[in-house]
Structure 1
């Protein structure tokens, strides 16, 4: 599922996080909660995805201009509305780069336990969301909504706040679940 415009990457990470963890949400997206097979045609599925992406975009930007995308607080609030399906409340956390257990380490741990984590990235300014969806022996797996791809990034580089994905190189913030194995 690819984002429909330049401002909905945050919305798509919320949509995908829910789709990964909530089978009833996926059923709604694919069928519209209808028993009629005609309601599950590809064009209707795409229409529901686009409508949901725009609904989430509006919900995550109540006090922020929509043309600037979603704030970590807006993403966190929308995910937390569905805490039962997602396994807990979500909170926005800045990448401060200071010692101790970092927000980025918590993001990696949460994704490793099956909980998706939106990640705000950019260069000089925060610009784009990706979704940390898991780990494997070779690195971290991320969903990139601009191209609707799953990519692998280097775990240690991520923990250092550095990435190389779609032209962006810095991790600004993560939106982590408050409950996962190892959470404080």
Structure 2
């Protein structure tokens, strides 16, 4: 079994509440990028450390699924050429999420380019999340441009189909959800089948299944929020 497939199997098992199979470590080496059908789960215990870091937690999980070395470090604390990180796994994840939140909200991003700063108390702006995914790649090759797509209440079904198409190609897709007035939370679509799309919810560290009908009706019911607002997708023609 390839390293990334092994990791995703462990993520899926843990999130489903099953014993984690095989505690073997992922070998060091070049990052392994997710491909079609590879993304099916998330990791139990990967809960956002505070009320403002749902978007940052989704960014970290997306990068874990796309980069086996990064996931290995967060999982075990080990990285080639360095001493083992002694922090507990949950603390390591929380600290990485908080560091990501600082990076996405300051005056310059991961690439070093200037950006509009955003108050951390207000979470992560959609365009900042897209810039971070462009820089780190998430489940795409680093440098793959990501774009923010507003979900029209009249075209929610089309937005769902667009997300489903990206997920089928192996991409993890963030979704901003909220009420009828404002977006309030971010989740990460990881995979899906004919029954619906599976999303990682950083508020709980668990997963939820969203059907096309629920998405189309604006009845998501994810951590108390029902309305889809924005998706973050790799730009057409640039996704890998």
TM (normalized to structure 1)? 0.85
Q: Say which of 118, 122, 140 aligns to 1:64.
A: 118
Partner of 2:79: 33
Partner in structure 1 of residue 182 of structure 2: 125
Q: Which has the higher helix share?
A: 1
| TM-aligned CA deviation for residue 107 of structure 1 | 1.5
Q: CA deviation at 1:14?
A: 0.4
TM-score normalised over the length of structure 2: 0.67
Q: How far has the Cα of 1:16 moved from its partner?
A: 0.6
**Partner deviation per Cα, 1:126-166 (whole Å, 9 max, x = no partner):** 10001011112321100000000011111232245441211
Query: How far, CA to CA, are the matches of 1:100 and 1:128 in structure 2?
Result: 18
Shift of 1:115: 0.5
Contact in 1 for aligned 2:66/2:138 (Cα 8 Å)? no
Task: Determine which structure has more spread, i.e. the larger CA radius of gyration.
Answer: 2
In 2, the alpha carbon distance for the partners of 1:12 and 1:100 equals 25
Q: Report if aligned partners of 2:220, 2:228 keep a CA contact under 8 Å in 1.
A: yes
Q: What is the aligned residue count? A: 180
Residue 146 of structure 1 corresponds to 203
Indicate the structure with greater strand content. Answer: 1
- Gaps of at least 5 residues in structure 1 are none
Q: Which runs of 5+ in 2 are unaligned?
A: 1-45, 107-116
Root-mean-square deviation (Å)? 2.6
